[in-house]
A and B are shown apart, each in its own frame.
Chain A
Amino acid sequence: MWESIASYGLAVGAVYAMTGITYNVMYSASRVFSFTAGMLGMLGGVLGALFIARWGLPVIVGFLLVLACGALIGVVTELVTVRPVLKSIEQHLYVLSTLAFALMVQQLVAIKWGTDAQPFPRLIPIGEGLLDQKFWLPLLACALTMGGLEFLYRRTLVGRAFLAIAEDSYAARALGLPEQHLRMASYALAGVIGALAGFTGAEMLLAFFGNQSILNFYGFVPVALGGMGSNRGAVIGGLVLGVFQQAANFLVGGIFASVAVFVVFIIVLLLRPEGLAGASLARRV
């Protein structure tokens, strides 16, 4: 039981964590909470199965194509659903145009790919049980993502420009930073991370159009738990969520496991609305 809780819990949790990071990367650059994170995860699995299993492309080519598609869809999201809205409204935390875009893409996938779950190929056949890629690949991808983002944000000029925009976009623009280009690059980066989450988790979650809504919700939970904009919080929140969800499957089982997750989620948000790792904002007077 403990082995199953740890293996499945951490693997699913890593996928949730990367989806949470996808939310954060888009949010940091635009202050828009884009509902396309789950869509990117779903597409990572579906496109991976399409390129590798159905078209027979080499794994590395298929993988790079998936990431490229994720980046492209991230750019399209910014251009089509975020930029026009940001031009015309002041308050824009939740932009429903992103949700509409995500639902449209999901319907297209359902029509073209089908509504049945389809297999995702085993890419690295090095072992069974805990050595199966479905357990360690999402964790590895999550660790690399986190390490890569830390390096980008703390060691590179572009990363610091991202942070400057996230901190205060008006001041950043006043200093001459190209805000629109940086925002578009952030959405491309988010697209890559979201697609990576779906790709690495697809052997476990399968290539299924319905994964979009699951990842949209369970990817949001670590963001809310960890604090909006905090990638470290999202990783911890995602892993905790995955392990808790799997433990609830064993303890209460069936649909009650989901209920248990929701109950804990609501309690945490009631006690700490800013998230477990988030800082309380002081009100300006």
Chain B
Amino acid sequence: MSIKRRQVLAGSAAVGAASLASGLAAPAIAANEPLKIGYLPALTGPSSSTGIGITRGTELAVKEINDAGGINGRKIEMIVRDTQSDPTKAVNAVAELTQRQKASIIWGPLNSGESLAATPLIARDKVPMLHPCWVDELIDVKKYPMAFRLAPTASQIGAGANRYIVQVLKKKKVALIGDTTGYGTASVNTYLPMLKAMGAEVVYSGNVDAANPDLKPDMLRMQSGGAEAIMPWSVNAGFLARICNTRAAMGWDVPICGQTTLGSGQTKALLEKPENWNKVYANNFRAVCFNKDGKLPARAEEFVGRLKTAKVDMGDTLLWWIAMGYDGAKLIADTVKAAGDKATDVVAYWNKLKGWPGVYGTITFTPEQHNGFQDDEVIMCEVNSLKDGAFNIAPGYSS
């Protein structure tokens, strides 16, 4: 069974969650108790496109494992609670999963806003937690010793874009622009010193209201400062599309490099011409991008084959979301298989995890570092190259 957006939206959250849970959890035919994993996706609301994509991967992993007999004979029972993109709902769901359902491990929440609210509560209940959210502060081995991340941090995301501009494209003069949201201002403040430390000259840095209909004044400032690349940090598709459109109207062909929303369908829909998306590069991940020869890395290619066999829909989502969802459930299953489901054993196993080969990335944890994603796996992709949910790696990378 795969989740379709319309199915999720059609039913109530409770009904959706219940049907999902029953679909994921096979009847307890094994002698042992099923392994209870609490799963907190946003299946409805503004963050649901990510949640639905990740859930397709999670679902596939659980199905494969259960079809193969489970973990040492134990089936996985995924207890799903739709957070509805609402931190308050996520907090309520955490209390239910950790205290009433006695979930052994929590997978999620899947977006930072919900994780910021949920992580302290999961830590208080001493349940191991694995999540894919980017906000740096979500991982703190002293405050949250049982929380682990299998995705990059926001700093790694910014550093990936900075490396591409400065080291791959060899551009030294950079314009850094954010919107006036907390994300936009924090990103500009964080990435500006990082760029300078790499030897780049930041010829423009500033924050502009995302609703400003005309970005030409600020982009003229960038141009007159000699900017060789523009780095916009915003999740507002309108703001990002206006940057692309204004660049084209100015007849300026500098590269634009930034966050993944640059490559979203919402941004594409707001372009005045399709070619305004040329030379626009967004964050992506080496393990799930087409290389220069148009091929996916071996692990991803084999994974896509299984997705097709399982008839998992990739047309309206992204490969890296599905791969991340698959990796989350698979890593949990591998952990329980090797170390059991006792919380301290799970954490001890993860603290020594080295080079775990996921589809989305290779994960390594240490007792001091619970951010498992590797810096060099964060790369840039060509936003106008989307095919089967994956993008081409941006030009200039050696492999």
Contact = CB atoms under 8 A, between A and B. Distances in A.
Interface of A: 1, 4, 8, 12, 114-119, 204-206, 208, 210-211, 214, 246, 249-250, 253-255, 257-258
A115 B238 contact: no
A187 B36 CA distance: 58
B209 A116 contact: no
B217 A250 contact: yes
Nearest to A201: B213
Nearest to B212: A249
B236 A253 contact: no
B217 A206 contact: no
B270 A8 contact: no
A210 B237 CA distance: 13
Given A12-B213, A208-B238, 4 more contacts: A116-B237, A118-B269, A249-B217, A255-B208
B216 interface: yes
B211 interface: yes
Contacts of A211: 211
25 contacts: A4-B214, A8-B213, A114-B46, A115-B46, A116-B236, A116-B237, A116-B238, A116-B266, A117-B236, A117-B237, A117-B238, A117-B241, A118-B269, A119-B269, A204-B213, A205-B213, A206-B238, A208-B238, A249-B212, A250-B217, A250-B220, A253-B217, A254-B207, A254-B208, A254-B218
B205 to A, nearest CB: 9
B270 A258 contact: no
Question: Which of B46, B217, B218 has its CB near the most chain A CB atoms (within 10 A)?
Answer: B217
B270 A4 contact: no
A114 B9 CA distance: 13
Contacts of B221: 253
A253 B208 CA distance: 8
A255 B209 contact: yes
Interface residues of B, number: 22
A102 B361 CA distance: 46
Nearest to A15: B213
Nearest to A11: B213
B214 A205 contact: no
Interface in B335-390: none
A4 B206 CA distance: 20
A205 B214 CA distance: 9
Nearest to B261: A116
B317 interface: no
A249 B180 CA distance: 15
Contacts of A204: 213
Contacts of B266: 116-118
Given A12-B213, A116-B266, A255-B209, A249 B218 contact: yes
Contacts of B216: 4, 8
Interface string B212-250: 111011101100000000000000111001000000000
Contacts, number: 62
Contacts of A253: 206, 208, 217-218, 221
B184 to A, nearest CB: 10
A127 B55 CA distance: 46
B238 A254 contact: no
Interface string B191-215: 0000000000000001111011110
A156 to B, nearest CB: 36
Contacts of B241: 117
Nearest to A4: B216
Contacts of B180: 255
Contacts of A257: 212, 217
Contacts of A8: 213-214, 216
Interface in B45-63: 46
A107 B113 CA distance: 19
B138 to A, nearest CB: 23
Contact of B211 (A114, A115, A214, A246): A214
A241 to B, nearest CB: 14
A250 B215 CA distance: 10
Contacts of A249: 212, 214, 217-218
Question: Which of A208, A211, A254 has its CB near the most chain B CB atoms (within 10 A)?
Answer: A254
Nearest to B211: A214
For the complex of A and B, the 9 pairs showing the least CB-CB separation, nearest first, are A117-B238, A249-B217, A254-B206, A250-B217, A8-B214, A204-B213, A116-B266, A254-B208, A119-B270
Contacts of A255: 180, 206-209
A63 B69 CA distance: 61
Interface string B264-280: 00100110000000000
Nearest to A258: B209
Contacts of B269: 118-119
A211 B211 CA distance: 8
A197 to B, nearest CB: 14
B276 to A, nearest CB: 13
B76 to A, nearest CB: 34
Nearest to A7: B214
A163 to B, nearest CB: 35
A262 to B, nearest CB: 13
A116 B241 CA distance: 12
B270 A118 contact: yes
Given A4-B214, A8-B214, A117 B270 contact: yes
Given A116-B237, A116-B266, A118-B266, A246 B214 contact: yes
